[in-house]
Amino acid sequence: MKLLPVPLLAALLFACPPGAVAAEPVKAAKPAKPAKAAKPAKTPPAPQPPQELVLRHALSGAPLDKLATLVLRFNDEEAKLKSGAGRIVLEDAQGVADKARLPQLALFDQDDAPTLFDTRPRFRPLHQVMEAGRQRFDIKQFYPQMVDAVDDLAGKMQALPMALSLPVLFYNKEAFAKAKLDPNHPPKTWWELQETAGALRDAGFKCPLTSSRFAWVHVENVASQHGEPLVAREGRQERLALNNMVNVKHIALLTSWYKSKYFIYSGPGREGDERFASGECAMLTGESALYARLAREKPDFPLGVAVLPHYDDVYGARPVNVLPDGVALWVLAADKKPELQAIARFVAFLLKPEVQGEWVRATGYLPMTPAGVQALRESGVDPALLDRAERRLSMSQRDSARTRNGNGHDRSRIRAILNEEIEFVWGDKKPAKEALDTAVLRAAPVFAPQEVAKTARR
């Protein structure tokens, strides 16, 4: 039997129930009003694409690999947000054609700003960004010395100090052995280093000692170790005071070494790193983070690391009083609310203890917070090394031997002036005292009230 379609079958059953006799036709019922058409369902709005945030950098090797890994992880977390997500895009400074176009973020040392941006760009203070992004940002969570490296005159953090180092002395243990020096007893004072450099020179080494980041190591840190201020206040006005007795003495000593070929000047930046890594120079004063790179690359000689030497004939000298400095994360061309919120979340992500631990292990940079150090302890890092780092980083801030960022100081401009004057010393055109006196005079406008400059275009 052929089955009828269900709607037709139901209609027939309703019209002719079983056993019923056909009746007279009845009046047709009034046709029912047509049902109102159902309103089409609202189409959910298309998800907004993530807010792209460009992060310019000059990293390479392991630090770049780790940063890229962390950025991918952060972007994955952001992709889960229903709205307002951000997406960090890394930009290698070497491949940027229009350097005046500012990114939202940049990881750089302010001394290198002219190279990365063709200028010294203005920045948005980090504490303001975190407030605008409604992310918890307690300055007390950081080590005092890490804050001191990136704060302004009011103690407000201007950037995230995620890639800082301490000044140290690197030395080639094999070169020491050839010069009949004890590789296990590096020089502790500048006078001992003079004898060491002389022995290396006599043993045939054409470059006993070189340096990277000269102004930071040999002016700021030498002043800090010996209690000399770099900035002095006269009434309401501040002035540079780097022409103090200890700095003049030290530059004069280095000048005599330069003439005797004990010390080879490589440049104001990190030029000395390669000369030491290649084995050309037997000793280097530079950044502690270089150790992580050299440990990975395994140079052709056994590597030694020691504290920065000091003058034992200066009363009250404290060799441990060295100043963290280096690369920090700065917020540049970010004005929109979604940008600031995403950047604030990125900073909060970088401050997670486990993230800090990964970053420090991969790069050799200093930990920013005690929580980061605890993560390193749990991962098996040498406790003695962490104890020494904590003691120094926990010391009270506001070092008088440090210039500031913003609010009247411009640390990178001061260092640029100093490096220019030091070039006259090496060229035997000025003695140490005259060069430092001239640097103080030239830096006076840096401390004068500045008009707000126009922001570089985005």
Q: Is the pLDDT at 27 greater than 60, yes or no?
A: no
Q: Give the pairing type, strands 86-92 and 409-410.
A: unpaired
The Cα 115–Cα 145 span in angstroms is 27
**Furthest CA-CA distance within the chain:** 134
Give the residue carrying structure tokens 């180092």: 165
Q: Which CATH architecture has domain 51-164+325-391?
A: 3-Layer(aba) Sandwich (3.40)
The Cα 102–Cα 121 span in angstroms is 8
- Comparing 34-48, 104-118, 266-280, 352-366, which segment has the lowest mean pLDDT? 34-48
Residue 184 region by backbone torsions, left for phi larger than 0, else alpha for psi between -120 and 50, else beta: alpha
Q: In the numeric block, which tokens belong to residue 346? A: 């990125």
- In single-letter form, the type of residue at position 221 comes to N
- How much of the chain exceeds pLDDT 70, in percent? 84
pLDDT at 96: 87
- In single-letter form, the type of residue at position 126 comes to L
CB contact set of 159 (below 8 Å; sequence gap of 6+) = 123, 126, 150, 328, 329, 330, 331, 405
Mean pLDDT of 261-287: 96
Span 192-244, pLDDT tens digits: 999 999 999 999 999 999 999 999 999 999 999 999 988 887 777 778 888 99
Give how far the C-alpha of residue 136 lies from the chain's centroid of Cα atoms, to the nearest Å.
20
CB contact set of 295 (below 8 Å; sequence gap of 6+) = 303
The Cα 216–Cα 415 span in angstroms is 8
Nearest Cα to Cα of residue 101 among 117, 123, 120, 125: 117
Q: Say yes or no: domain 167-322+408-453 is CATH 3.40.190.10.
A: yes
- How much of the chain exceeds pLDDT 90, in percent? 57
pLDDT at 84: 82
Distances (CA, A) of 420 to 161, 273, 398, 423: 27, 20, 27, 5
Distances (CA, A) of 210 to 187, 193, 264, 426: 15, 12, 5, 13
Domain spans of the chain, in order of start: 51-164+325-391, 167-322+408-453
**Same fold flag, 51-164+325-391 and 167-322+408-453:** yes
Has this prediction a pTM greater than 0.95?
A: no
CB contact set of 336 (below 8 Å; sequence gap of 6+) = 51
Q: Give the pairing type, strands 167-172 and 303-307.
A: antiparallel
Span 311-344, pLDDT tens digits: 999 998 999 889 999 999 999 988 889 999 999 9
Residue 141 phi/psi, 5-degree rounding, is: -75, -15
Q: Residue 432 class from Cβ within 10 Å (0-12 exposed, 13-18 middle, 19+ buried)? A: buried
Across 344-363, b (16+ Cβ under 10 Å) vs e yields bbbbbbbbebebbbbbbbbb
Residue 343 phi/psi, 5-degree rounding, is: -65, -40
Span 388-435, pLDDT tens digits: 778 888 887 555 556 655 544 578 889 999 999 999 999 999 999 999
Q: In the numeric block, which tokens belong to residue 92? A: 């290698």
CB contact set of 302 (below 8 Å; sequence gap of 6+) = 172, 173, 174, 183
pLDDT at 43: 60
The Cα 58–Cα 116 span in angstroms is 8
Q: Is the pLDDT at 25 greater than 90, yes or no?
A: no
The Cα 359–Cα 366 span in angstroms is 9
